[in-house]
Structure 1
Amino acid sequence: MIGTLDVDIRPGSGLGFFELGSSLWNVLDLLRSLPHVFPQVDIKYDVDSSVTTPVVLHIRPHLDLLFSGHHQRLHTICARRLRDPHPPLIVRYKDTVLSSAEEVLRRVGVSRTFGPTYPGDDLRYPGVWFSFDEDRIGEGIKAPNPRHTEDRMQEVKRVIVSQKGPEGEERDALDEVLNCPVMHDDIARAIVKVHTGVTLYQHLPRAEPLHIRLGSTSAQDLVCDLGPPLRTHYKEDDRMSIHSTTKDNEEEEDGDYFYNYFQHGIDVLISGSTHTCKKIILHTNIPGTPLFQRYKRCLWEIEGRPEDDEDDSPPRMKFYDRFESINHFLSPRETPPSMVLDRTDDDDDLTLPNPTTRLMGYDGIVLEVTESGHVVTVNLF
């Protein structure tokens, strides 16, 4: 039996277990670890634009979590069906119980706790607002309400928590999340340079960029810069070696291993003999693909050659660009041959919108591309 769900309101910051700015990967990982508290979670997104679509986690029956489309960060939290007893919900603010099985949250109760605010159909305060309408999170934060009433006993139907904009302004539901402390240990951008490696920039203000260089960065360097990996996986799948252009005596040595940084959306293949970086894999975390939620989204950008020595802003292709554009960027004259990869071969019960991908190989880089033309992974070698 599921117990009472007890959540506290933190205006502009969070609600209960959930902190604004948290990544989709972290929140889903949290929900998986608490099945007794959150037994049913639905993931909703636009299949036609799955790379940049906002994602809504509907946690039955009380919570909706809206994540931004590009960065996959928790943007808005909505508590609804406050009186639904399955399970009962308690909503607190500081030391005050606003809503419970015994306490109905009404307009007058909100005003007593939070003070006066501007007139309107909803009660809006910096970082939190109270609505008297039923569910409408998918229609955006600023959805109009044709009715206007200020009945002091009117029952609150939804509580919405979002970030505070400049000077307390409301933020649009399609905006990206502002930088906040919960993001500071995460990677903000990953700049890819073919044949060289990846430069990582953190959200933490004034943090120095981190470099992963092919053939140079060691396993020890990675641990110092990124911390220990969440998993170390020894390479056993050699099916791609049949396509190798090296001679038999030059094939990859035994003992290569991966450092899996799921929390950054990065894998690094390390040589078993030199213990230096041989390959880097960056993951886009696209809903509807087999790799969704195994890795946090890595916001990668493939950098091209600068036009001249004074060009400090070389051209780049980003994780949300279509394959056709990236292909022209990497190989203007022709499209390379491709190989088909089906990651659901071993799971007959798994049905996904994009189960099959193509591996597109270039000099120093391989892209894994969905049937709809989105890049799932970037492989540097």
Structure 2
Amino acid sequence: MFSSIDLDIRPGAGLGMFELGSSLWTVLDMLRSLQHMFPQVDIKYDPDTSSITPIILHLRPHIDLLFSGYHQRLHTICLRKLRDPNPPVTLRYRDTVLSSNEEVLIKVGISRTFGPTYPGDDLRYPGVLFSFEEDVIGEGLKSNAKHSEDRMQEVKRVIIGQKGVDAQDRDALDEVMECPVMFGDIARAVVKVNDGVTLHVYPASAQPIHIRIGETKAQDLNVILGPPLRVHYKEDDRMTIHSTSRSSDDIDDTDYFYNYFQHGIEFLISGSTHIVQKIILHTNVPGSPLFQRYKRCPWDIEGRPEDDEDDTPPRMRFYDRFETISHFLSPREPPPSMLLDRTDDENGMTLPSPTTRLHGYDGIILEVTESSQVVTVILF
């Protein structure tokens, strides 16, 4: 463990290595390489609303990171227990040390550094709040502390959030506003069955990216999405026993996957033509077997428009329940499903509900948890 943690505060932007707007996947991936600094990370969420639950990462003993429920973006950072020496924390603002082993963060010190602010129980500035009470992050940016005029009051919590419109603090359950750390990430993936997917990326002004099954080439993916984090050659042919289109002798064992873990999306590419054959989108639902292997890809499944003039066709979204999406894809009874236990290939992994079901439709397969959350969409 580090002898101390040195953090700079950036109101409305971040704290130390943590940037507001960063994805849950990115932050957890970074924390894996920082186990010497943060040896214990607790993940807290509501299992009853697992697909849209806000998530808290508790980095003992000092830092809480609150992520938004829909897009899993870092919304609020809470620094507390500033005087806990295990490990000691040094907090800086620009060139000024606010808190350390030798420097206690008190009310008058905040006023001298940040200047005047509005009356209230806490000291509020755009993008940062200093509280004198030990409350939990679930309280958001609000506090019920009793007002005190004591200039020597010790700061117990420092809370960093985005600067809201008209300098007003934003609700802890709001989604994170677009910011530079998101640029290049997928904001929305619009699925068209039997066609492909349209990726809308940050910033909002960027042109959408169209990827079509049977048309887009691996070279195109390298140009528009960059090189994949991993190229994986297809080795698992267990599903071919269910195929009615070709015999197992016809399977091309040179097919390969482009894995874009950082986008929550992967592509199966033909080894002979190098054209996209399948597109796989991941929902990154907490508690599911694939949680944190891929970033959340916020997908919509687009239906057929009512007529030629309908520019708002119906859509199902990643947080809709399986029964609703199934009826949307096929009003008949759901097709027979197959069981899949992803922990079979993972020695030592145990989950309360490791089994998912695969439901196949024309051109699309849904992988569904026992709680009716769709964790994977496969287009073919």
State the TM bucket, normalised to the shorter chain. Answer: over 0.9
The equivalent residue for 1:136 is 136
Is the partner of 2:343 in helix, strand or coil? coil
Amino acid at match of 1:29: D
The equivalent residue for 1:314 is 313
Amino acid at match of 1:48: D
The equivalent residue for 2:215 is 216
Is the partner of 1:110 in helix, strand or coil? helix
8 Å CA contact 1:80, 1:135 repeated in 2:
no
In 1, distance between residues paired with 2:142 and 2:151? 22
Task: Tell me which moved more, 43-52 or 228-237.
Answer: 43-52
- 5+ unaligned residues in a row in structure 2: which ranges? none
* Cα deviation code 1:93-113 (max 9, x no counterpart): 000000000000000000110
The equivalent residue for 2:243 is 244
Please state how far the C-alpha of 1:205 moved relative to its aligned partner. Answer: 3.5
Please state how far the C-alpha of 1:249 moved relative to its aligned partner. Answer: 7.3
8 Å CA contact 2:107, 2:154 repeated in 1:
yes
Please state how far the C-alpha of 1:206 moved relative to its aligned partner. Answer: 1.9
Please state how far the C-alpha of 1:211 moved relative to its aligned partner. Answer: 1.1
8 Å CA contact 1:64, 1:78 repeated in 2:
yes
8 Å CA contact 2:283, 2:298 repeated in 1:
yes
In 2, distance between residues paired with 1:19 and 1:192? 30
8 Å CA contact 2:129, 2:141 repeated in 1:
no
The 3 A distance-change label for structure 1 pair 363 and 251 is farther
8 Å CA contact 1:47, 1:353 repeated in 2:
no
8 Å CA contact 1:98, 1:105 repeated in 2:
yes
Query: What TM-score, normalized by structure 2, do the two folds share?
Result: 0.98
1:58 to 2:84 alignment: no
The equivalent residue for 1:199 is 198
Please state how far the C-alpha of 1:351 moved relative to its aligned partner. Answer: 2.7
Please state how far the C-alpha of 1:73 moved relative to its aligned partner. Answer: 0.1
Please state how far the C-alpha of 1:51 moved relative to its aligned partner. Answer: 0.6
Is the partner of 1:345 in helix, strand or coil? helix
8 Å CA contact 1:13, 1:127 repeated in 2:
yes
In 2, distance between residues paired with 1:156 and 1:342? 49
The equivalent residue for 1:89 is 89
Amino acid at match of 2:328: F
1:282 to 2:281 alignment: yes
Please state how far the C-alpha of 1:33 moved relative to its aligned partner. Answer: 1.1
In 2, distance between residues paired with 1:2 and 1:355? 36
Please state how far the C-alpha of 1:143 moved relative to its aligned partner. Answer: 4.1
The equivalent residue for 1:334 is 333
The equivalent residue for 1:105 is 105
In 1, distance between residues paired with 2:355 and 2:144? 42
In 2, distance between residues paired with 1:271 and 1:235? 10
* Cα deviation code 1:122-164 (max 9, x no counterpart): 000000010001131023222433x121210000000000000
Equivalent positions of 1:301-380 (< 5 A) are 301-347=300-346, 349-380=348-379
8 Å CA contact 1:11, 1:161 repeated in 2:
yes
The equivalent residue for 2:169 is 170
In 2, distance between residues paired with 1:205 and 1:298? 16
Task: Tell me which moved more, 179-188 or 36-45.
Answer: 36-45
Is the partner of 2:190 in helix, strand or coil? strand
1:120 to 2:120 alignment: yes
* Cα deviation code 1:66-106 (max 9, x no counterpart): 00000000000010000000001000000000000000000
Is the partner of 2:344 in helix, strand or coil? coil
Is the partner of 1:222 in helix, strand or coil? helix
* Cα deviation code 1:308-343 (max 9, x no counterpart): 000001000000000010011001121100001111
In 1, distance between residues paired with 2:158 and 2:268? 46
* Cα deviation code 1:278-336 (max 9, x no counterpart): 00000000110110000000000000000000000100000000001001100112110
Amino acid at match of 2:127: G
8 Å CA contact 2:252, 2:271 repeated in 1:
yes
In 2, distance between residues paired with 1:183 and 1:243? 40
Please state how far the C-alpha of 1:204 moved relative to its aligned partner. Answer: 1.6
Please state how far the C-alpha of 1:354 moved relative to its aligned partner. Answer: 2.9
The equivalent residue for 1:78 is 78
* Cα deviation code 1:3-57 (max 9, x no counterpart): 2100001000000000000000000011001111111111111111111000000
Amino acid at match of 2:313: P
* Cα deviation code 1:166-194 (max 9, x no counterpart): 01110000000000000011010000000
8 Å CA contact 2:123, 2:130 repeated in 1:
yes
8 Å CA contact 1:342, 1:357 repeated in 2:
yes
In 2, distance between residues paired with 1:264 and 1:180? 17
- 5+ unaligned residues in a row in structure 1: which ranges? none
In 1, distance between residues paired with 2:5 and 2:248? 62
Task: Tell me which moved more, 199-208 or 274-283.
Answer: 199-208
Task: Tell me which moved more, 247-256 or 151-160.
Answer: 247-256
Please state how far the C-alpha of 1:247 moved relative to its aligned partner. Answer: 3.2
The 3 A distance-change label for structure 1 pair 251 and 317 is farther
Is the partner of 2:48 in helix, strand or coil? helix
8 Å CA contact 2:131, 2:143 repeated in 1:
no
8 Å CA contact 1:13, 1:161 repeated in 2:
yes
Amino acid at match of 2:132: F
In 1, distance between residues paired with 2:139 and 2:12? 20
8 Å CA contact 1:289, 1:353 repeated in 2:
no
